[in-house]
Structure 1
Amino acid sequence: MSGNASSDPATARILDVRDLRVSFPGKGWRAARVDVLHGVSLDIRPGETVGLVGESGSGKTTIGRAVLGLVPVAGGTVEFRGERVEDAPARQRRRLSRHLQVVFQDPYASLNPSIPIGETLAEPLHAQGMTGHDARHRVLDLLDRVALPVDAARRLPREFSGGQRQRIAIARALAIGPELIVCDEPVSALDLTTQRTVLDLLLEIQEQTGVAYLFISHDLSVVRYMSHRVNVIHRGRIVESGEAGQVTAEPRHPYTQRLLLSAPVADPTAQRARRIALGRRQAEETS
């Protein structure tokens, strides 16, 4: 997989996260709070994909939720187009949701199983005041954009495959024309062939609409394929960041190097060599 096209560094940021800190209550009523993010900073430009990669529990999903205003922030700032997101009142958050959307990991859990797909796609349109013929036309346009047939509007989520359900989730995120979509492990629940199809769809949509992505994943090869720039997170801290080609091919930080060695490759000989190298590195780190 090859990286996405390069972006213009002179373009103004649409998202600016600075010194972000988040903590959660510890287990037990007397337990101290647990720090999850420790001064995280990143930014995204219009039409750009910024990858955020790290293992489970690294804090990457918490960053995505903070960008969407879904978790309380202990310190730092999250700004979208110069407007503060963290701790924003409900009315402001509803207004920002027009420009900030999300695609979650599990495409089935994110869809109401009892509501036809057409109604699911129309819901955010109705919330923005679009009704009647305009809303129906927009729903059909969204289905076409994610390569689903017109009759999908009348069907329930259970009638679709995992890849098709993720296409529906993408269509819903696109419904009201956002500038930024948080993609939180959007293909990790899919098989490899379906993953590639969904990733290519996201790239095609970005080329057509200019939408930006914060692309969150534990898979370095997927992040490399999608991203212009990459941030590597480990234990709540950004340990490496830079252009996707540099970070994913010649990483400087030991943790990123370990992620690279852990990434699967098609060549069995190369895969075996990686497993041996990873075993040696892990042995060195624990010795």
Structure 2
Amino acid sequence: MTALLTVSDLRLRYPGRGLRAKSAEVLRGVSLVIAPGETLGLVGESGSGKTTLGRAVLGLAAPTGGSISFGGKDITHLNHRERRPLARDIQVVFQDPYTSLNPALQIADILSEPLIAQGTDAKHARASVSALLDRVGLPAGAAERYPREFSGGQRQRVAIARALALRPKLIVCDEPVSALDLTTQARVLDLFMELQRETGVAYLFITHDLSVVRHISHRVAVMYQGELVETGSVRNVTNTPQNEYTRRLLLAAPTADPDRQAKRREARRQLLIAPA
């Protein structure tokens, strides 16, 4: 498998708050690979370190050990100026579609902004807006509106359009559907997959929900307390998990069937009380 993104033995430690506070190691030797056009689902509970890993890939958190390479180039310790050209190839979609969009700007300005920042003149950048909106299923008239005028699902489509503006090779998706209702989640996930088929973009898809991972991912990496405890194909990890923590995550996923939900809760309780 040809690697697009390679994370090798990555470690990251945050300093403690206060004069004598101990530092906390958030990532403990994490290694993973993403191929071009692939979706790797990174799943774990809050505090597992999955978002910190995404931030490290984006250059928003500084690793204290290990390495990150993209397209064969080491990007672990690039400074802000050195990372700027990399924005063409690595983009992000955040969890909250409202706070990630500037409420003072119209959608046309939001979508043309990354193009202008990369050197495209304003006229050509604005001309690309209609095509971007069409690609994510929004009407051209949306360009003259503000983020507050859209629903959560529509705002997330705008955020996806912004991420696609520079035609990146990788998009880091940090809980991009967790703030949406179930129906809207399904539509946005289908949009992600459709865009991947059209553009060949790869996703690092960060989520706490294994049902979402099952829907969109090719492979799954399960993170617990800063370490990857299980990695494999989506079928193997979600159908026959080998790690106890992965089994607990699967049993914690909600289901609409009350009887099945009760059985899951009991099975999870038995796992939690079982001797180590």
Normalised to the residue count of structure 1, the TM-score between the two structures is: 0.94
1:267-282 aligned at under 5 Å gives the runs: 267-282=257-272
Task: State the SS of the aligned residue for 1:247.
Answer: helix
Root mean square deviation of aligned Cα: 1.1
Query: Quick check: 2:172–2:203 contact (8 Å CA) kept in 1?
Result: yes
Distance in 2 between the 1:239 and 1:136 partners?
Answer: 45
Q: Which residue in the other structure is 1:4 paired with?
A: none
Moved more, 82-91 or 240-249: 82-91
Query: Quick check: 2:85–2:118 contact (8 Å CA) kept in 1?
Result: no
1:212-227 aligned at under 5 Å gives the runs: 212-227=202-217
Q: Which residue in the other structure is 1:120 paired with?
A: 110
Note the C-alpha offset of 1:97. 0.9
Q: Which residue in the other structure is 1:179 paired with?
A: 169
Task: State the SS of the aligned residue for 1:58.
Answer: coil
Q: Which residue in the other structure is 1:75 paired with?
A: 65
Distance in 2 between the 1:203 and 1:267 partners?
Answer: 27
Are 2:16 and 1:26 equivalent residues in the alignment?
A: yes
Query: Quick check: 1:68–1:85 contact (8 Å CA) kept in 2?
Result: no
Q: Which residue in the other structure is 1:94 paired with?
A: 84
Q: Percent identity?
A: 60
Are 2:159 and 1:169 equivalent residues in the alignment?
A: yes
Distance in 1 between the 2:256 and 2:170 partners?
Answer: 33
Which structure 1 segments of 5+ residues have no match?
Answer: 1-9
Are 2:36 and 1:38 equivalent residues in the alignment?
A: no
Distance in 2 between the 1:135 and 1:65 partners?
Answer: 27
Distance in 2 between the 1:89 and 1:158 partners?
Answer: 34
| Structure 1 residues 132 and 90: CA distance shift in structure 2, 3 A | closer
Residue from 226, 235, 252 that aligns with 1:236: 226
Distance in 2 between the 1:39 and 1:200 partners?
Answer: 33
Q: Which residue in the other structure is 1:7 paired with?
A: none
1:97-108 aligned at under 5 Å gives the runs: 97-108=87-98
Which structure 2 segments of 5+ residues have no match?
Answer: none
Distance in 2 between the 1:177 and 1:37 partners?
Answer: 30
Note the C-alpha offset of 1:284. 2.1
Distance in 2 between the 1:132 and 1:80 partners?
Answer: 29
Q: Which residue in the other structure is 1:259 paired with?
A: 249
Moved more, 29-38 or 100-109: 29-38
Note the C-alpha offset of 1:270. 1.5
Distance in 1 between the 2:70 and 2:115 partners?
Answer: 22
Note the C-alpha offset of 1:130. 1.8
Q: Which residue in the other structure is 1:3 paired with?
A: none
Note the C-alpha offset of 1:267. 2.5
Distance in 2 between the 1:203 and 1:126 partners?
Answer: 27
Task: State the SS of the aligned residue for 2:88.
Answer: coil
